[in-house]
Amino acid sequence: MDRSREKFEVLVVGGGPAGMAAAARAAECGKRVAIVDDNAAPGGQIFRGQNLGEVESLAEVRRHLTGVRFVSGKKVFDVAAPGILLAEGPEGVWELRYEKLIVATGARERFLPFPGWTLPNVMGAGGLQAMVKSGLPVRGKTVVVAGSGPLLLAVAAYLRAQGAEIALIAEQASWSALARFAARLWSFRGKIGEALELRRKLAGIRFAANSWPVMAHGAEKLEAVSISTNGRVGKIECDFLACGFHLVPNVELAVLLGCAMENGFVKVNRIQETTVPGVYCAGEPVGIGGLESALAEGAIAGLAASGYAIDETSSLFRAREKARYFARLLEKTFSLRAELNQLPNDETIVCRCEDVRYSRLRLRSTWRAAKLQTRCGMGPCQGRVCGPAAEFLLGWKVDSVRPPVFPARVESLAAGSEEFAAILTE
């Protein structure tokens, strides 16, 4: 099997805003830099399929990306040895060596199981948006958007712009929490403009707080969804249900590298360095903070990985702290309510890969016991979907990460083992 080898002074895993900011700053310092990402172009999920030249917030980042090598269409699936990652692409295995590493692997949506959530056309909010960006037609289709957080509004606005009919935006947070959040927005002038623009784009669409899906209905695919609003359940006919309950950080690679965790996120110091010397982390893996936080953290990580001494009064630190404050406000406003623990019934599938139902999981006491007795979390998604759901529903700590980080071909795993053996004998 073909194996390509490359070495970089600074290697960035993840091509989203944090990764791009990190790479740009490292390149600005004269380092040989690469970004490895499984997408065809930089931008991450937030700017997927979008012309980055039209994104004003990335203007400074774009100016310094010209000297950065973008290793596209590659998934890092294993850590071969200190300073060496293995990535898989269509043409084979890539051995990526580095002096300094920046982990900017982003986040994914959290799904909470409820009866019918496995029906076709019940999707993650961000997932449906990504599929539409990739060509899925939604013009004339009726969509219910449900879950929690500002992402719901952004997705609804995008889908409407693509011709979808948004029947309802169902937000599980209370009206009182949303009112307090709106009052605090006056401290963030830029956010007020964004909120007003979203309101304009969503004019005429019904929005309900204290609201969440309790059941999806359909024979072969989604036909309707039952929504609980203020304790009353109503049924809405729809073609798609876009549903998401916050984001979950992608920390698997960082854990595999030996980085310490704190409250579910990668632990970093003031300059974004992890507990593993020479390994930095930025963006959602260190805290769900949004675009501004990711750009500031990425820039700090890129400069620090390049050996640049950042002044303690740097505007980057101030921007990061302001963004993190806003992130804490979001977390408090949209924290998931206890009633969502009651969404699944005994027959609800929690682990879709292995068809494990909630009744079987309730008999176990830990994530490890569930894996051993039911195979929950041992399918192709490797617990990325059912793990966060089980953590919320059952209070389990999901703490086992083993290679490969992503499903990989057998020949890739074999190639990785051969490389590791060769390295040890050098």
Superfamily of domain 3-108+248-332, CATH level 4: FAD/NAD(P)-binding domain (3.50.50.60)
Q: Quote the distance between the C-alpha of residue 425 and its chain's center.
A: 38
pLDDT (tens digit per residue) in 276-309: 999 999 999 999 988 889 999 999 999 999 999 8
* Vertex 77 angle, CA 74 and 82, to 5°: 110
pLDDT (tens digit per residue) in 191-239: 888 888 988 999 999 999 999 999 999 999 999 999 999 999 999 999 9
pLDDT at 143: 98
State yes or no: pLDDT of 409 exceeds 90: no
User: If you write DSSP's letter for every residue of 328-371 in order, what string do you get?
Assistant: HHHHHHTPPPGGGGGS--TT-EEETTTTEEHHHHTT-SSHHHHH
State yes or no: pLDDT of 57 exceeds 80: no
pLDDT at 123: 96
Contact status, residue 320 vs residue 47, Cβ threshold 8 Å: no
User: Across residues 70-83, what is the average pLDDT?
Assistant: 92
* Vertex 195 angle, CA 244 and 135, to 5°: 50
pLDDT (tens digit per residue) in 359-394: 999 999 999 999 999 999 999 888 999 999 999 999
User: Across residues 102-112, what is the average pLDDT?
Assistant: 95
User: If you write DSSP's letter for every residue of 258-284 in order, what string do you get?
Assistant: T--EETTEE---TTSB-SSTTEEE-SG
At 1, the pLDDT band (50, 70, 90 cuts) reads very low
> 236: which residues sit within 8 A by CB, 6+ positions away?
144, 167, 168, 224, 225, 226, 227
> Where in the chain do CATH 3.50.50.60 domains reside?
3-108+248-332, 111-245
Q: What is each CA distance from 423 to 83, 84, 410, in whole angstroms?
A: 11, 10, 20
pLDDT-wise least confident of 37-46, 105-114, 401-410: 37-46
User: If you write DSSP's letter for every residue of 219-231 in order, what string do you get?
Assistant: SSS--EEEEEETT
Q: Cα separation of 212 and 133, whole Å?
A: 26
Q: What are the residue ranges of helices labelled H in 109-261?
A: 125-133, 151-161, 175-184, 189-201, 252-256
Residue 115 has phi, psi (to 5 degrees) of -55, 125
> 181: which residues sit within 8 A by CB, 6+ positions away?
329, 330, 333
pLDDT at 66: 81
pLDDT at 417: 65
Q: Cα separation of 112 and 214, whole Å?
A: 10
Q: Cα separation of 172 and 245, whole Å?
A: 9
Q: Quote the distance between the C-alpha of residue 375 and its chain's center.
A: 24
Q: Which residue has the tokens 């973008």?
A: 70
**Closest to 337 in 3D by CA, of 122, 116, 147, 117:** 147
Superfamily of domain 111-245, CATH level 4: FAD/NAD(P)-binding domain (3.50.50.60)
pLDDT at 424: 47
Contact status, residue 105 vs residue 280, Cβ threshold 8 Å: no
Q: Which residue has the tokens 């702290």?
A: 321
pLDDT at 220: 92
pLDDT at 45: 72
pLDDT (tens digit per residue) in 234-284: 999 999 999 999 899 999 999 999 999 999 999 999 999 999 999 999 999
Residue 223 has phi, psi (to 5 degrees) of -120, -30
Longest dimension (CA), the chain: 68
pLDDT (tens digit per residue) in 412-421: 888 766 555 5
Q: Cα separation of 374 and 364, whole Å?
A: 9
At 48, the pLDDT band (50, 70, 90 cuts) reads low
At 61, the pLDDT band (50, 70, 90 cuts) reads confident
Task: Report the percentage of the chain scoring pLDDT > 90.
Answer: 71
